């Protein structure tokens, strides 16, 4: 039945029928559907952050109110991962002047890093080291600090997940507060 997709050399396929080379083209409309996923509600105003994919890369957008258009905030070439369980989410600073979000910077290696997006400057700043795996941040009730876990100290062995505290306004302020083994 026409051309077929060859079985990769590293795959052993027994009893699997040949797949027509035209099948992937026919599936494109189903794999390219759009969706918008809620990331977080603004703590003061009636606004939200959403994740949506336009083209090949998902990005974070702001929606300023009911029925309003989205405004793209992030512009990463490789995009921002889809929301959990496998991807990102966003957490507003308690007054809503900026938000923190997690993004894989390892090309799928799950080296999640924390970033800050500042609404006033429209700039994104890397908050963590860019190499280790970083967990989901939690805001302190007061003081504008976040706590998060990371394998930074453990040489990226994946086993040591220590707790850090940071002021997201100052990326150099991250302090190790508890070593976990």
pLDDT value for 141: 81
CA distance 166 to 144: 9
Cis peptide bond upstream of 85, omega within 30: yes
pLDDT value for 152: 85
For 32-77, the pLDDT digits (tens) are 667 788 998 999 999 999 999 877 788 999 999 999 999 999 999 8
pLDDT value for 83: 67
Contacts with 107 (C-beta within 8 Å, 6 or more apart), sequence order: 78
Handedness of CA 107, 74, 113, 173 (dihedral sign): positive
Contacts with 150 (C-beta within 8 Å, 6 or more apart), sequence order: 128, 129, 132, 133, 134, 135, 161, 162, 164
pLDDT value for 133: 87
Q: Which residues of the chain have pLDDT under 50?
A: none
pLDDT value for 55: 75
């Amino acid at each position: 039945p026409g051309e077929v997709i060859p079985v990769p050399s590293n795959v052993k396929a027994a009893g699997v029928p040949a797949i027509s080379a035209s099948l992937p083209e026919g599936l494109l409309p189903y794999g390219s559907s759009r969706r918008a996923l809620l990331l977080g509600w603004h703590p003061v105003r009636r606004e939200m952050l959403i994740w949506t994919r336009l083209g090949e890369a998902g990005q974070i957008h702001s929606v300023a109110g009911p029925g309003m258009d989205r405004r793209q905030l992030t512009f990463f070439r490789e995009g921002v991962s889809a929301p959990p369980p496998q991807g990102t989410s966003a957490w507003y600073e308690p007054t809503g002047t900026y938000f923190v979000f997690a993004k894989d910077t390892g090309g799928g290696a799950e080296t999640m890093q924390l970033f800050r997006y500042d609404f006033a400057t429209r700039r994104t700043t890397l908050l963590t080291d860019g190499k280790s795996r970083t967990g989901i941040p939690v805001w302190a009730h007061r003081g504008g600090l976040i706590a998060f876990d990371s394998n930074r100290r453990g040489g990226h062995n994946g086993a040591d997940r220590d707790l850090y505290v940071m002021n997201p306004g100052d990326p150099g302020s991250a302090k190790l507060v508890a070593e976990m083994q």
